[in-house]
Amino acid sequence: MFGIEFGFNISSSVTTASKKVKIRNKGKLKHFFPKDYTVIDIETTDLSPEWGAIIEIGAVKVINNEIVDTFDKLINPCFPDNYDLPSFTSELTGISNDEINNFGHSKSNVLEEFLDFVSDSIIVAHRASFDINFIYDEILEEFDIEFKNNYIDTYNLGHFYAFKSPEMNRHRVIDFIKKYNLSNEDGFNHTHRALNDSLFEKQIFDLEREKLGDDWSVQHGTHNNNKYEYKTFNANLDADETNSFYGLNVVFTGTLEKFTRNDAHEFIANLGATPQKNVRTDTDLLVVGSYQNNTKEDNKSSKQIKAESFNKQGKSEISIISDEEFLKMVAETINK
């Protein structure tokens, strides 16, 4: 029996395929404003846990709404050997091969220290599922234990509740920095370094707390009322807005061998997402199937190349995941 009442046929190729993947037994997404929590951010070599590795973890420990400690570690994925960062990652983050190879630690040591730092704290992050999924997979692989801390998503809080459109049309970290003139103590005012992003996300969480109030908690049905449509699939605005797909603009590319694109469009639309035909600056998620075309860069589809270009130029923060990772998201959603 599925934990969410969808109100539509769940026997599609998407749900059938999702039953065959192993889901993450991770913590739950929460909507409230605790006084004690830990903000986290990571930098990675890729935007999907299936393909990428964590190269930097930043965290800020908050007690009674005040910062009491910070955590900032580089990881060399090949430690103790030298590692060559993808050029895209270096250009996006500013992290160089020299930094990784001279100052990067082993993944095992950093993850162990990170677990000690966060302990059983509730986690706060921006687009939290991205960070949580990466960390969960790496910890499971390294130590065979599950990372089960509950978490709060500052993007979700801003987009659906505190700063809904038209007050803010976009809710990236850089959008909050620009709108509210945020800066850290050293004047740092750009993104894509883990500790600095964690410090910004603490400020974003404070802005959301100030807007909604200390005692606020989610009331279902208070989300955006924007109406989206893709072919015959309308975003279901009455869906549970705490599910992983609600409010996302999603594009599929490549050959989807385990489910049909129509089923995928219908599935995510019923969960409140908007299927898009093409990658745009407001796209949130690109799901990549297999793609073999030697006329394209690294056998990537034009949609993936466009998404990576938007990310590199700072126009978007599009998460790029495999169709297998998409099925894990589906399985986690229908087993909620």
189-216 confidence digits (pLDDT tens):
455 789 999 999 999 999 999 999 988 8
Of 106-120, 183-197, 216-230, the range with the lowest mean pLDDT is 216-230
| DSSP for residue 35 | S
Assess contact for 202 and 184: CB atoms under 8 A.
no
What is the C-alpha separation between 280 and 57, in angstroms, rounded?
Answer: 29
Q: According to DSSP H, which parts of 234-335 are helical? A: 261-270, 302-312, 323-334
DSSP bridge partners of 294: none
| Chain Cα centroid distance, residue 170 | 15
- b/e code 247-279 from CB counts within 10 Å (16+ = b): bbbbbbbbebebbebebbbbbbbbbbbbbbeeb
33-51 confidence digits (pLDDT tens)? 999 999 999 999 887 777 7
Question: Which pLDDT value is given to residue 50?
Answer: 76
CA geometry: angle 217, 218, 224, nearest 5 deg: 140
Phi, psi at 142, each rounded to 5°: -80, -40
**At residue 226, does pLDDT exceed 50?**
no
Q: Which of 10-14, 94-98, 115-119, 310-314 has the highest mean pLDDT?
A: 115-119
Identify the structural domains of the chain with CATH numbers, from first to last: 29-212 (3.30.420.10), 224-334 (3.40.50.10190)
| Chain Cα centroid distance, residue 166 | 23
Assess contact for 31 and 157: CB atoms under 8 A.
yes
| Cβ partners under 8 Å of residue 157, min gap 6 | 31, 205, 208, 212
- Is the pLDDT higher at 259 or at 151? 151
Question: Which pLDDT value is given to residue 18?
Answer: 78
| Cβ partners under 8 Å of residue 99, min gap 6 | 74
Give the mean pLDDT of 154-158.
Answer: 93
Its pTM stands at 0.71
- Is the pLDDT higher at 100 or at 51? 100
Question: Which pLDDT value is given to residue 2?
Answer: 39
Give the mean pLDDT of 174-200.
Answer: 80
Q: Cβ–Cβ contacts within 10 Å for residue 283, how many?
A: 22
Question: Which pLDDT value is given to residue 336?
Answer: 61
What sign does the dihedral 257-259-260-266 (CA atoms) show?
negative
What is the C-alpha separation between 252 and 152, in angstroms, rounded?
Answer: 27
What is the C-alpha separation between 40 and 100, in angstroms, rounded?
Answer: 20
Phi, psi at 326, each rounded to 5°: -60, -45
Q: Side chain identity at 311, as an amino acid letter?
A: N
**At residue 57, does pLDDT exceed 50?**
yes
Give the mean pLDDT of 180-193.
Answer: 70
| Cβ partners under 8 Å of residue 219, min gap 6 | none
Nearest to 225 by CA among 215, 211, 235, 210: 235
